[in-house]
Structure 1
Amino acid sequence: MTRDPPLTSAFPAASPPIPEKHPVSDTHHGVTRSDDYAWMRADNWQAVFRDPSLLDGRIRAHLEAENAYQAALMAGTADLRGKLFA
């Protein structure tokens, strides 16, 4: 019996972007929780919807890195996507 190679072998060797950790602690009702990625939540998110240039540069850089990673992973599927969505 042969085994198929794992699905990950079909994707190029690309490393996902790793967001920086900046822990923020918050206490509500006596329960404290820590959020390492609170910095990625834009407090001005409503304004950002109206004007994306207002997004914090660190958040934008990480989102662009995630988009580039996704594009690298999916590059080999361009022909298939063209057939599926033609």
Structure 2
Amino acid sequence: MQVDGHIISGEFYSSSQEFLLTGIKHLTTESAISEEDLSDLYDYLSAHIDEEGGQVVTLNDQILVRLGQDEIKQVLQDLDDIRRLF
């Protein structure tokens, strides 16, 4: 099932219970994310949502992506929508 959120896009595979992240912000990537990893990211961003300066996430352990506070809120909404698919 294709998922196109505010910040995150990808494909959810119910057969393998994983989400294939194909895009975040303006960057293209391909990373498989388990339900546990997705929940960990959601919990981390939720805990740090009010920090000034936003947060930086890493794609494929190589590319740094800065998320401002408004973007974090959008990512949390996207992640919440994806979590419901699991």
TM-score interval (norm. to shorter): under 0.3
Question: Whose helix proportion is higher, 1 or 2?
Answer: 1
When Rg is computed on C-alpha atoms for both structures, the one with the higher figure is 1
Question: Whose strand proportion is higher, 1 or 2?
Answer: 2
TM-score with structure 2 length normalisation?
0.24
